[in-house]
Amino acid sequence: MRKNFAVIGDPIEHSMSPIMHNDLFQFYGLDAEMKKIHIKKDFLQSGLSELRDMNMAGFNVTVPHKQAIIPFLDELDPLSKAIGAVNTVVCENGRWIGYNTDGEGYLKGLLKQLPDIKQRRTFIIGSGGAARGIYFTLAHYGVEQVDICNRTISKAKALKEACPYPVKTNIMEIALAEKTLGEYGLIIQTTSIGMSPKIDASPIQMSNVMEGAFVSDIIYNPLETKILKDAKAKGAITQNGIDMFVYQGALAFEKWQGVFPDTTRMRQNVLTQLGGLTC
Ligand code: ATR
């Protein structure tokens, strides 16, 4: 029997998850299909009850429903509970179980390029939902020091206080962060600043970044944000958000199908969709 999957969000038209997963279903010979389902921000409850009737095997959850969906789930895994957000739901015998593969997907993509992160002094720019998943996952993994800067300091402080895993964290304003950036071996940009179409924007000046530092941006459109360009010009090694997107999808696929899929294939597929050549 065909297994039905979906990605829900508002807006949803831009989502590349169906292209990525449908290609994998075909590649692995699975009778399954993923569709985009538009559930408007204020209609989550009624949208989910329609989804219950559609006999789903699983679905991805994207903005703005990642936190709001939690009360409608039957079970939450511990990391998604700590993060307070869900991007993947597994439907098993009518029970909906929520997971968060964003933070872990980010970590997997990072470790592929940079295996020695535990002792690397790490810096996160931003304190929104994406920062939360990444910060908690890094702390859970055992990264010793993760400092944070954010436009709104109170949000960065709240993030630090909410983290249930042990990690050393200093909170600072953007102006101070710009001066001390040279002390960090790993810098992670988690805000939406620099995303297409405002590609000349940057949340922070990169002039003091250390040569050889690893600078990672979760944005993948454009493939090279201003922050990455500036960091590269200073001799940093850079990574865009494609790996995070691919690995969060790969981990969701594994939860649904029991197989960890071919991430090289997924990456190539996403790059083709984005019209990129290499990255
Ligand atoms: P997401 O859930 O996708 O992470 P979010 O919760 O809206 O999105 O968080 C966006 C992040 O981008 C926050 O860190 C936000 O800073 P504030 O906490 O001060 O709002 C940051 N951000 C958004 N617009 C910004 C801007 N113009 N300048 C600096 N930071 C900005």
Q: What is the pLDDT of residues 1-16, one digit of tens each?
A: 999 999 999 999 999 9
For the CA of 203, the closest atom of ligand 1 is 29
Q: Which of 137, 153, 191 to mutate to test the pocket of ligand 1 (most atoms within 8 A of CB)?
A: 191
Name the pairing type of β-strands 95-99 and 88-92: antiparallel
Ligand 1 pocket, 191 CB below 6 A? yes
| Bridge partners of residue 75, in order along the sequence | 97
Active-site residue set: 66
> For a pocket test of ligand 1, which of 151, 172, 174, 218 has the largest count of ligand atoms closer than 8 A to its C-beta?
151
Q: Which tokens hold the place of 169? A: 């964290």
Model confidence, pTM: 0.94
The minimum-distance atom of ligand 1 relative to the CA of 156 is 18
Distance 95 CA to ligand 1 centre (A): 34
- Beta carbons of 134 and 186 less than 8 angstroms apart: no
**64 within ligand 1 shell (Cβ under 6 A):** no
Write out the two tokens for 221: 């459109």
pLDDT (0 to 100) of residue 279: 43
- Angle among Cα 52, 57, 59 to the nearest 5 degrees reads 80
The reply to whether ligand 1 has any atom less than 6 angstroms from the CB of 129 is yes
Mean pLDDT of the residues in the chain: 96
Q: Report whether residue 130 contacts ligand 1, using a CB cutoff of 6 Å.
A: yes
CB of residue 257 inside a 6 A radius of ligand 1 = no
Where residue 225 falls (left for φ over 0; alpha for ψ -120 to 50; beta otherwise) is: beta
To 5 degrees, how large is the angle CA 34–CA 218–CA 203? 140
pLDDT of residue 275: 82
For ligand 1, say whether the CB of 152 is within 6 Å of any of its atoms.
yes
Query: What are the φ/ψ torsions at residue 265 (nearest 5 degrees)?
Result: -65, -45
Residue 263 has pLDDT above 90, yes or no: yes
pLDDT at position 276, please?
Answer: 58
Band of residue 278 on the pLDDT scale cut at 50, 70, 90: very low
Cβ contact 244:218 at 8 Å:
yes
For a pLDDT cut of 90, what percent of the chain falls above it?
97
Q: 113-163, pLDDT tens digit by residue?
A: 999 999 999 999 999 989 999 999 999 999 999 999 999 999 999 999 999
What's the CA gap between 114 and 211, in Å, rounded? 15
* Per-residue model confidence as pLDDT tens digits over 76-124: 999 999 999 999 999 999 999 999 999 999 999 999 999 999 999 999 9
* Paired tokens of 207: 């002039």
Task: List phi, psi (to 5°) of 201.
Answer: -85, 150
pLDDT at 172 over 80: yes
